[in-house]
Amino acid sequence: MHGPGSSGWLLVALCAATGAYCLLRMRSGVEEQRRAAGGEALMGFGMAAMAVPAAVFTPPAWAWPLWAVVFGAAGLHALWAARASARHLHHVVGAGAMVYMAVVMAAAPRGAHHSAAGTPALTAALLLYFTAYVLVTGARLVPVAAVAGGQGTGPGAGSGTRWGDRPELARACRLSMGIAMVAMLLMM
C-alpha cells in the first residue's frame, strides 16, 4: 500500500497497536474470543507490515505472493469457522481483501497502483463494504445510556470484567482495523 510517509507511519502504528492488543485478548478465558483475537492479531500485524512507507522498506518480490498465501489460508480458516458463527464472514472478507492487495502489489510495477481506467470494481466494492462496516461498528460503540445522558451499564461498566474481555474494546479494535483497511484500499 505504501502511501506517503506520515500517513503510512500512522497506519503502521494503528495496526501494530491493534495487533498487540489482539494478542493480549488471546489470554481471554472465553474460547471464542481467543480464536477471533488470533486472526485479528494476524490481520493487524499484516496490515502494519503492508503500510510501512516504501521509502523505508520495499518488500522483496517474493513477499507479496507469500502474504497472499498466508492470508488465503487465514481466509479459509475463517470460512471454516463461519460454519459455527456468521460473525466470521467479516474475517473472510478481510482476509480476501488482504489477498487482493497482495496480488495487486505483486502485479503492479514499482510505484504504480492505479490503472489508467481508474479504481477497479473489486477495490470499489471492498471500499463500500469496509466503509459500511466502519459506520455500523462505530455506531455500535456509542452506549445507549450515554446518548440518553445516563451512566453506562453495559458489560464491564463498573463490574469485575477483565479489560481484555470487554466487548467494547474488541469492537474498537475491529473498528480501528476497518478504518485502516479503508485507508489502505484508498492508497492502492
Q: Which residue has the higher pLDDT, 57 or 21?
A: 21
- For the record, the C-alpha cell of 165 comes out as 474481555
State the amino acid at position 75 in one-letter form: G
What is the average per-residue pLDDT within 102-119?
Answer: 67
pLDDT given at position 45:
95
Contact between 69 and 102 (Cβ < 8 Å): no
C-alpha triplet 20, 21, 26: angle, nearest 5°: 95
pLDDT given at position 159:
47
Residue 99 pLDDT level (bands cut at 50, 70, 90)? very high
What is the average per-residue pLDDT within 60-81?
Answer: 93
Q: Which residue has the higher pLDDT, 168 or 83?
A: 83
What is the average per-residue pLDDT within 67-87?
Answer: 91
